[in-house]
Structure 1
């Protein structure tokens, strides 16, 4: 019964893995150069998981259950990391040599396969060659994944993106450790408990990547693109900003408007009353008191009003139609999709999606 449940779980995860790998290269929301490599990596990992678990032999699918693809999987994942970091290694002439082990393994495997069919020479060393290729691929993947981890830690990228890349890297390290344990167990103890654990971990990876690795990271990437566009517009002097209120009485409040409108402090999702008080060189209580007296709003209402206005500008601009609502919410300072939707609807009486559709017109 337990085996049947695991079979069903791994088949389901395999379907998800293939679905994600195809979606990454066919859906405009996800399609980019980095995700092309992630798609190939996930396709290979999914194939190795399914074929390894069910021990498919003597079928056309057996070609995918081969150590050769383990070499390619490591390189494509490493390339995915480099592209996400926009690392200079991608421009180096030696970078393409990282694919050499895969090419060499493919040639060797082809020669062995042809010989197995036509018996050109004695193939008594086939098992030895397979053993060497299998373990060499393990060492090569260990080298690439730890090298990639070091590069990620040193990369000058956003914390959100770095966090995701390190998590994915750590997950792959976990798979490699299971891989090592399974090899030790198979050759020394002649059992397969660790091997089964590795297949299960690989199947979980498909589900994990679906949300955190694909959707969440894509939101972060879109948020960064929006931010870069707005920075460029500001640099060119064409960004239209809100005017500072001339009706305020307090010097503190005028300073607060400057912080919001010139420094866009509201875009910090972790902005607190203490942060405002520190920047204004006063107490938290006084900040709350003065905002309430002069705007009749709480601190969070005051900050969210700026966020909503900024979101309205982005939703109204057709340039940002290709970006998700969540990415826009993150760019203007909301910590989550639910908070953005709730505050926006309370303020305007409609959801961000309805507001965007309204700006596009009735025929959109």
Structure 2
């Protein structure tokens, strides 16, 4: 059946694309991992629909344990977390992310508890328990009607914090498609529940629409370079690291880390920008500076930040930043402006978080302790 084949292709593509996003250092970031989880969730929903078409639940009734879990509760969560992790830390710090998973956890526990009786036959729920589950089921319905529309709408409010207009445009497009799918699913489900219509044909159309999200994410997210902003790196990734054929969805690993490193040279645009940030803007003085913050400033993934620094300098991220901090301390030591500062204060002013890390880094870079350097520089 052509329809089932299309669904199976989308399922496989969603899993493959999700793994690429999670495993590749080019695409892997705190925000993109939630996009990968979104693709996995869509794949599970499509797989359950295929099971229903093929009547797999009759032959393998235990599959209903997976089917009865309301995976749809995760779709608005993952698209929201994808967006919220692409904005600045001041906005992210105000969010209690774990609360987003409460509706899904509630639904999963409720349905699994019921299915352990109805499907697995592990125990028998008494009549009073059945009545309680029905009441709790109404709570689940209320959660679906309120939570599923609310979180996408709130995501539109949050998305205004994105500074990159091109990035904002593509994410708004993705959010709109997912939101329309969720609203259509919710309306269809309510019609089936209250009017007792056969909603299977409508759900089949929605399943086909869900495949579009997977294909569209592959095209816009990777081919159009929106998940990773270094186009040269993505081009190398697509043509050397992984040969991806969306016709038959085969993936062939055919490269080594050394081959990838050869694509990074000292004139790398992002490395030059990082040097400017350190030399002119002194970002190293931020004691909370990490790969994620630098990646956000450069518009690339944290993994690619590490690759650039390691390939060009031979150092890891921490040592690279600490070298700038040590140089700043050395300048303070030889400057009369800071003669009343003690060494630890100089270290903390330069971005070190403690005396131990300061002394250890200084010794590693210069071969001397701060005191030894101060004495020899006089």
TM-score normalised by the chain length of structure 1: 0.57
* 2:4 corresponds to 1:7: yes
| Aligned position for 1:121 | 126
Separation (CA, whole Å) in 1 of partners of 2:117 and 2:144: 22
Residue pair 2:77, 2:151 contacting (<8 A) in 1 also: yes
Alignment CA distance shift 1:93-1:113 (3 Å): same
Alignment CA distance shift 1:141-1:135 (3 Å): same
Equivalent position to 1:155, from 144, 150, 161: 161
* 2:252 corresponds to 1:209: no
Report how many residues are paired: 239
Residue pair 2:32, 2:227 contacting (<8 A) in 1 also: no
Separation (CA, whole Å) in 2 of partners of 1:138 and 1:159: 32
| Aligned position for 2:229 | 220
Alignment CA distance shift 1:103-1:96 (3 Å): same
Separation (CA, whole Å) in 1 of partners of 2:61 and 2:16: 23
Secondary structure in structure 1 of the residue aligned to 2:96: helix
Flag structure 2 segments of 5+ consecutive residues without an equivalent.
233-267, 281-307, 314-378
* 2:148 corresponds to 1:141: yes
Separation (CA, whole Å) in 2 of partners of 1:110 and 1:182: 24
* 2:15 corresponds to 1:18: yes
Residue pair 1:24, 1:39 contacting (<8 A) in 2 also: yes
Q: Let me know the Cα RMSD of the aligned residues.
A: 3.3
Secondary structure in structure 2 of the residue aligned to 1:85: coil
Separation (CA, whole Å) in 2 of partners of 1:79 and 1:221: 23
| Aligned position for 1:46 | 43
Residue pair 2:65, 2:115 contacting (<8 A) in 1 also: no
Residue pair 2:192, 2:198 contacting (<8 A) in 1 also: yes
Separation (CA, whole Å) in 2 of partners of 1:162 and 1:146: 15
Separation (CA, whole Å) in 2 of partners of 1:28 and 1:138: 38
| Aligned position for 1:191 | 198
Separation (CA, whole Å) in 1 of partners of 2:274 and 2:187: 51
| Aligned position for 2:25 | 28
Separation (CA, whole Å) in 2 of partners of 1:88 and 1:236: 22
Separation (CA, whole Å) in 1 of partners of 2:145 and 2:69: 9
Separation (CA, whole Å) in 2 of partners of 1:135 and 1:220: 40
| 1:176 positional shift | 1.5
| Aligned position for 1:171 | 177
Residue pair 1:178, 1:195 contacting (<8 A) in 2 also: no
| Correspondence list, 1:242-261, <5 A | none
Residue pair 2:15, 2:40 contacting (<8 A) in 1 also: yes
Separation (CA, whole Å) in 2 of partners of 1:183 and 1:25: 32
1:127-150, Cα deviation, whole Å (9 max, x unpaired): 665565256235312111111112
| 1:51 positional shift | 0.8
1:244-300, Cα deviation, whole Å (9 max, x unpaired): xxxxxxxxxxxxxxxxxxxxxxxxxxxxxxxxxxxxxxxxxxxxxxxxxxxxxxxxx
| Correspondence list, 1:232-271, <5 A | 232-234=274-276
Residue pair 1:178, 1:197 contacting (<8 A) in 2 also: no
Flag structure 1 segments of 5+ consecutive residues without an equivalent.
239-314, 321-364
Alignment CA distance shift 1:18-1:157 (3 Å): same
Separation (CA, whole Å) in 2 of partners of 1:169 and 1:138: 18
Residue pair 1:67, 1:133 contacting (<8 A) in 2 also: no
